[in-house]
Structure 1
Amino acid sequence: MRNLLFSILVRPAVLFVLGLNIRHRERLPEKGPCVIIANHNSHLDTLVLMSLFHGKSFSKVRPVAAGDYFMKNKFLAFFSTKVMNIIPIERRMTKDFQGMFQPILQSLDEDGIIILFPEGSRGEAEQLSKYKSGVYYLMRERPDIDVIPVFLHGLGKALPKGSFIFVPFFVDIFIGAPFKFTSDRKTFMDTLNSRMDALQKEGGFREW
């Protein structure tokens, strides 16, 4: 049912309105468990990333999203849980990382393909923000799972933060090579930053 709803409601709209140029599609995982790390400029980010998956792989895709936002009314909660199949988490300070991440870890143990935005909230259009270290503590619990960086360009103009107008725009998607967790936090975060920076530079985009 979820696959059908997404195929009827979301994927056609995304593919019809937006032009997607996918670089290194062969790096897109066909199965889990894995964690996809992406930059976050628009509410369309998640829908576009989900649209890249089909069939059995799509059934394993679960975006991590802010529960306080996506569960705030019945319609949004229905769409978020029944169509997007989000993993809602609370955006609050805590030292109980294992407890907070338990739903994500359970999904990974069930071969889930997790979509995660370590910048947290949506940033300025086409600008990379500082990544929060929560992703380090998540991957520390499952150090053998692949981390796949993905850089999205264009969605910050198609539906920027604070806007409700969907503007047709050409979108570039750069899929990076997978890498693994390293126990030193600075090394891991530096690796993530350098991988995302490299994907951004690969496009040679001018500033907006």
Structure 2
Amino acid sequence: MKRFIDATLGKWVRHFFLVLVRTYYAMFYNVSAAGKHLLQDQPGTLILATHVSRHDGPLVSAILYSTARVRPTVHYDEYHNWAQWFPMYVAGAIPMSSPKSWPDDRRAARKDHTLGIIHKVLGNGNSILLFPAGKLRRQPQEIIAPYLSGVYDILRAEPDTPVMLLRLDGLGQFQRAQYDGFWSFLGIKKGRRHVSLDLRPITDLDPTQELAVFNETLEALLNS
């Protein structure tokens, strides 16, 4: 029943919601997306993105919506925040991690459950958006803690999963802010902020490596 509702009413609600979000970004941001057409020929892709602002998840999901359905991953606390739960539920966000107050066995069970959902989504031909650093960037470069294992665990279980790297530029605190003249007819000098999304396939990740080495390689790719 849940799958039927998602494919009917859910599809209409999701379309309406993401069109609204995309309209917002079209009005206030000048967004370009290179390589997004590649997703059409590569279903079930794991998209690994830089995390430069709080706009990243909704922006990427909205811009890629007409190309492929992308299910974003979000932190457990953000997903269950009462002010954010509904839009995240509509967008099909997948909560990751768990409260540190939980016992280890419960946290391990939650992790296995989440990985099961991710592999099911990828197996159904939908794509997953994941931020490997796990949190918003507070410095010029992406930093992946050696112990973070989300990407590693996904690829160890399914090493043939297609992977794409997504770089966001022009949106973050440490990135250049450049504007067009879209609102100049109102006398506003700063128009829409230029933002670029660059998607490209990557084959440089080897999940047979040690976790720390794997994360170093991934970190270098995100910052290259």
Give the TM-score category using the shorter length.
Answer: 0.7 to 0.9
1:3 alignment counterpart: 15
Moved more, 101-110 or 49-58: 49-58
1:146, 1:47 → 2: CA distance? 22
Alignment CA distance shift 1:36-1:81 (3 Å): same
Moved more, 185-194 or 46-55: 185-194
Q: TM-score, normalised by structure 1?
A: 0.76
1:79 aligns with 2:79: no
User: What TM-score do you get using the length of structure 2 for normalisation?
Assistant: 0.71
**Inter-partner Cα distance in structure 1 for 2:54 and 2:200:** 21
Gap change, CA 1:124 and 1:178, over 3 Å in 2: same
Match of 1:57 among 68, 79, 92: 68
Quote the residue 2:209 is aligned against: 184
With over 3 angstroms needed to count, the CA separation of the structure-2 counterparts of 1:80 and 1:6, relative to structure 1, is same
Instruction: Kindly provide the amino acid, as one letter, of the partner of residue 26 in structure 2.
Output: L
Q: Secondary structure at the match of 1:52?
A: helix
Contact 2:35 2:199 in 1 (8 A): yes
Structure 1, residues 145-182: CA drift from partner, whole Å, max 9, x if none? 11111111122249xxxxxxxx9421122222232643
Shift of 1:30: 4.6
Q: 1:23 to 1:55 in 2, by over 3 A?
A: closer
1:112 maps to: 126
Q: For the Cα contact (< 8 Å) 2:95–2:114, is it kept in 1?
A: no
8 Å contact kept, 1:126–1:153:
no
Residues 4-31 of structure 1 show CA distances to partners (whole Å, capped at 9, x for unaligned) of 2211x20111122111133344444555
- Give unmatched runs, 5+ long, in structure 1: 159-166, 199-208
- CA distance in structure 1 between the partners assigned to 2:161 and 2:98 by the alignment: 24
SS in 2 for 1:174: strand
Alignment of 1:45 with 2:56, yes or no, is yes
Q: Secondary structure at the match of 2:201?
A: coil
Q: Does residue 142 in structure 1 map to residue 150 in structure 2?
A: no
Sequence identity, in percent? 22
